[in-house]
Amino acid sequence: MRRSIIYWALPVVAVLAASGCDNGLTGVNDNPNGPTHVDASFLFPNAVTGAVGTVLGFSLDEDLTALWAQQYAENQYNTEDQYDLSDARVSSLWSSFYSGPLEDFHQILEQADSDSQPNIAAPAQIMQSWTFSIATDLWGDIGYTDALHGMDAGGTMTPTYDAQQAVYDSLLADLSAAVARIDANAPTLGAADVIYHGDMTQWAKFANSLRMRLAMRLSNADPAKAQSEFAAAYAAGGFTSNADNAELDYPGDGVWDNPIYDYQKSRADHAISATMVDTLTSMADPRLAIFANPIPVDTDGSDGWTYRGQPNGSNYQTPLDSLSTIGSALTRATSPSVMMSYAEVLFLEAEAAERGWITGVTAAQLYSDAITASMQQYGIDQTAIDAYLAQPSVAYAGGSDGLRQIALQKWIALFGNGPEAYAEWRRTGYPNLTPGPDALNDGLIPVRLPYPSIEQQLNSANLDAAISRQGGASLNDP
């Protein structure tokens, strides 16, 4: 597991216009644009779109983690693809976690607990856990226990950083507690729930599935805890079909559009990685036609069409019209942002079965089901799926070879979710990624993000303590 730090930022509460007034003068000192209470029906969709837009939008996904996981590549302005990350980028990402969605989820939780609304608290707690889990995977030790309380009585503006192990322990406990909160007879967020529309059974499945993801992340760091947590989450019940996928859908109305689509309206400088194209081509994977747009073999396409990826980390800038860009299935205005899929859950279960953590189903069957679910997610027909699974290079081998197959196939299935693909590559080491020829950072793919310089200015003592605990400030330090 890779370790580092995150910065705590001042809380920001969504501002809504207040209505109504008093005929006297009792409210003259009240700010109508700064209400002390904002209803969860406003806060929750704002927090979800903020969190998902940060994690699965351009800045973190397309232009950073998907590059480092070699799913996408830059064909120009390729500093990030060469591991040259600006402080401005890091600062923006850092504040995008803490000064928006995490604070909103915190406010919802406090209000829901105060008002005894368990089915409002549970989704907020699950989404907060998902957001925190991405942050700790990126930076390591983060502000967690003391964070988000700066405006509370007894709160601090200079929080300490929880060790990543403690953060993971808390996240796993919080997810379990969130499921326990759910009350079949209590009111829900209803239409304000932009993920599952008030279906609490689905929220429980997501929490259990996310708990499996986090438990598996501990497979090398704390195998015993990983096994016990995974087994408990598996028994509680995760996703059982693609209908359960945790995703944010967009109407594509010009106001609420997929964030990658929004970016590509004004800029087009990303292609599919040559690593991904070569991998899919070598196994005749039908997902290549989904993940990438074809280009003509010759000028007019009379000799047919092909797929060509851009090598990562190269100074050579290939004209974009001679590269396969990211497929339209992932870049339309209405393309969903998928936080977690059924296919990922099946891959997690396949690995758990191979490790002997769960029984009653074989790793081979779960591996096959996972690939099938990934392809069905994109509408690939069963005949093509069966042909793919029958190939010797794809058929499950079992043992350590099987674990490598699971890791590779999961990396493929996570296309479009760069943060998770990057996290899993760091855990498993698969696929075997080669840094680009013009890579910086001592020619190594970074294993974590740096922290913004403002952290040294505002919270240096806690930052220095966390750096020391993690072994150093290098992007290559675990």
Average pLDDT over residues 227-238: 98
List b or e across 408-427, with b for residues whose CB sees 16 or more CB atoms inside 10 angstroms.
bbbbbbbbbbbbbbbbbbbb
Q: Which residue has the higher pLDDT, 17 or 156?
A: 156
CA distances from 308 to 177, 281, 298, 314 (A): 47, 10, 13, 15
Residue 357 has a pLDDT of: 98
pTM here is 0.91
Task: Read off the pLDDT of residues 446-470 as tens digits, 9 standing for 90 and up.
Answer: 999 988 888 888 888 988 888 888 8
The listed range with the strongest mean pLDDT (10-14, 21-25, 29-33, 345-349) is: 345-349
Residue 471 has a pLDDT of: 81
* 87-98 helix and 118-139 helix, angle to the nearest 10 degrees: 160
pLDDT at 147 over 60: yes
d(CA 439, CA 79) in angstroms, rounded, equals 9
Task: Read off the pLDDT of residues 121-142 as tens digits, 9 standing for 90 and up.
Answer: 999 999 999 999 999 999 999 9
Residue type, 321: D
What is the CB neighbour count within 10 angstroms for residue 223?
A: 12
Average pLDDT over residues 425-431: 97
Q: Both ends of the chain: CA-CA distance in Å?
A: 7
pLDDT at 318 over 90: no
Average pLDDT, the chain: 90
Task: Read off the pLDDT of residues 370-418 as tens digits, 9 standing for 90 and up.
Answer: 999 999 999 999 999 999 999 999 999 999 999 999 999 999 999 999 9
Task: Read off the pLDDT of residues 240-262 as tens digits, 9 standing for 90 and up.
Answer: 999 999 999 999 999 999 999 99
Confidence bin at 21 (pLDDT 50/70/90): very low
Residue 154 has a pLDDT of: 59
Confidence bin at 110 (pLDDT 50/70/90): very high
Give the residues across from 273 on adjacent strands: 310
Confidence bin at 153 (pLDDT 50/70/90): low
CB hemisphere CA count around 132 (13 angstroms): 35
